[in-house]
Structure 1
């Protein structure tokens, strides 16, 4: 009986021990699983943070790329161009030939031809208020109707005309009794403007250089050595003068923004001349004067480009 009790107790004890061992083993396994689960959750949290951070970074890069693309575009030829309120104009083929009307000294017809190279309003454009931001433009000259801006090609033509006027005025000084007096009155006040124009045209030519190949002309003896550029065909934008009328569909309508709003420049110039010379004959602008956004008609430009009337004012 005791033996049976011992066997029974021994069997029961072993069962308890085995159960305890199993419980401890399960507890250890459970602990390991909990540890692994905690590590896995921590790693998952880190991975989630990395994914969120990477998504934010990709989003920022995408926005930056979109912003860069929104401020520039490519034309069909693959040329990189900036967005502008002035629409892209088609290129045409133009053959350069000498035009005596422009390749001549100062005379009324040539002066007027040079003056009519720009449309009414002198090429300035008027953007309605609160529209410049879409083009990422700095503020223009404020007016009630909008902001006034210049267009580079018309600025360049203005500078070329100013250099021309300066040159022919210098030429007209030859043989005068007191050229220094005339120089001080007519030319010295505008020298800074002329120097500005030389540098501005230099940079404009280097920026938009025409890469057309030019060959030498044929001399009388059949040889070729001098290049004058005539007879060479170039790819050209529409001529500035073509934009004078709204009937030209390829010209930006904004170029006509100042049409019909011409200010009395004739009177202003006459007043300056009267103040300087005691006469109402038009003269060059004041010292340091640069291109301003006061609209001008071709006829008024002809007044400012002629060197004869200022000379007559001095002689009077």
Structure 2
């Protein structure tokens, strides 16, 4: 015998009613899903996912920063680079004195007990000396006059020494491109840069100098006790 009431119920359900009937969860499942601790667990999991995602983003940003940290220029003194014709110009009495003013008394040869018992030279002043002499050699060729006392061997030494010094110091200041008068893009290098305090280094080299004099052939041993400061310099 057929259950006429059951058949009648099925016949009376519209498609929408059938869908709603099928999708309705059992009472127990509904009570579980609406339980407060379920929402707590879901919120906790969502928090973990959000935290992990954020940490990955920040870790990526930190990694990118670490990838460029080594490019920060040495020193914290801001210097505006600008062209000064006194130094690259032809040798004159004025330009020679300007170059000599870049060197400390003692030519950068120092003796300091915390550094070495022996006499040592600060590299920057050796490099400036080489640059000065190469400038003389260039003008020897340009104007036919004799400005340099360096031999070809000494010139080659300075070129190679300066190459390695530039690579060692590896200036990482950023230089901008500009439009030249001819309309070309070029990088002259006249930018605001971060540098080491050259004046401070110059003063320190003079204070702890091992010699007196700015001309290599004229340098003399120090005899003034105030300059020696109790040091025993082994010449």
Bucket of the pairwise TM-score, normalised by the shorter protein: 0.5 to 0.7
Structure 2 portions without partners, runs of 5+ = 1-68, 222-235
Relative to structure 1, the CA distance from residue 295 to residue 120 in structure 2 (aligned partners, 3 Å threshold; closer, same or farther) is: farther
How far has the Cα of 1:225 moved from its partner?
A: 0.9
1:148 aligns with 119
What is the rounded CA distance, in whole Å, between the counterparts of 1:115 and 1:264 in structure 2?
A: 7
How far has the Cα of 1:243 moved from its partner?
A: 4.1
What is the rounded CA distance, in whole Å, between the counterparts of 2:128 and 2:215 in structure 1?
A: 19
How far has the Cα of 1:160 moved from its partner?
A: 0.5
Is 1:229 aligned to residue 189 of structure 2? yes
Relative to structure 1, the CA distance from residue 295 to residue 203 in structure 2 (aligned partners, 3 Å threshold; closer, same or farther) is: farther
Contact 2:100–2:214 (CA<8 Å) still a contact in 1? Answer: no
Relative to structure 1, the CA distance from residue 265 to residue 226 in structure 2 (aligned partners, 3 Å threshold; closer, same or farther) is: closer
How far has the Cα of 1:264 moved from its partner?
A: 9.8
How far has the Cα of 1:150 moved from its partner?
A: 0.8
1:257 aligns with 208
Is 1:101 aligned to residue 86 of structure 2? yes
TM-superposition CA deviations, 1:153-176 (whole Å, max 9, x none): 1111111111112122232327xx
What is the rounded CA distance, in whole Å, between the counterparts of 1:236 and 1:258 in structure 2?
A: 23
What is the rounded CA distance, in whole Å, between the counterparts of 2:214 and 2:168 in structure 1?
A: 35
Contact 1:258–1:295 (CA<8 Å) still a contact in 2? Answer: no
What is the rounded CA distance, in whole Å, between the counterparts of 1:217 and 1:264 in structure 2?
A: 39
What is the rounded CA distance, in whole Å, between the counterparts of 1:153 and 1:193 in structure 2?
A: 18
What is the rounded CA distance, in whole Å, between the counterparts of 2:158 and 2:142 in structure 1?
A: 19
| 1:165 aligned counterpart, secondary structure | helix
How far has the Cα of 1:90 moved from its partner?
A: 4.7
TM-superposition CA deviations, 1:63-118 (whole Å, max 9, x none): xxxxxxxxxxxxxxx87xxxxxxxxx952111211112213111111111111111
What is the rounded CA distance, in whole Å, between the counterparts of 1:196 and 1:115 in structure 2?
A: 21
Relative to structure 1, the CA distance from residue 265 to residue 123 in structure 2 (aligned partners, 3 Å threshold; closer, same or farther) is: closer
| 1:198 aligned counterpart, secondary structure | helix
How far has the Cα of 1:198 moved from its partner?
A: 0.2
What is the rounded CA distance, in whole Å, between the counterparts of 1:107 and 1:122 in structure 2?
A: 21
1:44 aligns with none
Is 1:114 aligned to residue 99 of structure 2? yes
2:169 aligns with 208
Aligned length: 151
TM-score scaled by length of structure 1: 0.41
Contact 1:124–1:295 (CA<8 Å) still a contact in 2? Answer: no
Relative to structure 1, the CA distance from residue 295 to residue 160 in structure 2 (aligned partners, 3 Å threshold; closer, same or farther) is: farther
